[in-house]
C-alpha cells in the first residue's frame, strides 16, 4: 500500500512543491508541465505484458533508459526546456523508487 502512495506522491506532489518553491510566479504552468511528464509511460504499451507489477521500468522501456535519462538531464539544463526535463527526471525518480521497493 505504501508503494503506490509514494510512487504517485513523487509523480504529483513533488512537482507541485518544486513549482511552488522554484516557479512561484507561474506555479500552475510549471506544475502542469512537470506533471504531464507522466505521458512518457506510453512506452509501456510496447511491452508484453503492458503492465507487470514485478518489472522494473528503468532501462526496460525505451523512454526509461539510461540514455533517455541523459537527454532529460540536458533538457533540465536548458532554460526553454527546463520544466519538461525536470518533470521527466522526477518521473524517473518515481520509477527508480519503485524498483528499489520491489
Q: Where are the domains of the chain?
A: 2-101
CA angle 24, 8, 85 (to 5 degrees): 50
pLDDT value of position 1: 67
pLDDT higher at 71 or 50: 71
CA angle 38, 97, 65 (to 5 degrees): 60
Longest distance between any two alpha carbons in the chain, whole Å: 43
- d(CA 27, CA 31) in angstroms, rounded, equals 6
pLDDT tens digits, 54-89: 999 999 999 999 999 999 999 999 999 999 999 999
- d(CA 102, CA 80) in angstroms, rounded, equals 36
pLDDT tens digits, 30-43: 999 999 999 999 99
Q: Is 59 left (phi over 0), alpha (psi -120 to 50) or beta?
A: left
pLDDT value of position 35: 96
Amino acid at each position: 500500500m505504501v508503494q503506490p502512495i509514494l510512487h504517485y506522491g513523487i509523480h504529483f506532489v513533488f512537482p507541485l512543491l518544486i513549482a511552488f518553491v522554484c516557479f512561484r510566479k507561474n506555479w500552475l504552468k510549471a506544475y502542469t508541465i512537470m506533471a504531464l511528464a507522466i505521458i512518457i509511460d506510453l512506452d509501456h504499451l510496447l511491452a508484453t505484458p503492458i503492465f507487470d507489477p514485478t518489472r522494473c521500468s528503468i532501462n526496460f522501456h525505451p523512454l526509461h533508459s539510461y540514455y533517455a535519462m541523459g537527454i532529460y538531464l540536458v533538457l533540465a539544463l536548458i532554460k526553454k526546456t527546463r520544466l519538461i526535463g525536470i518533470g521527466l527526471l522526477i518521473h524517473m525518480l518515481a520509477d527508480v523508487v519503485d524498483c528499489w521497493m520491489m
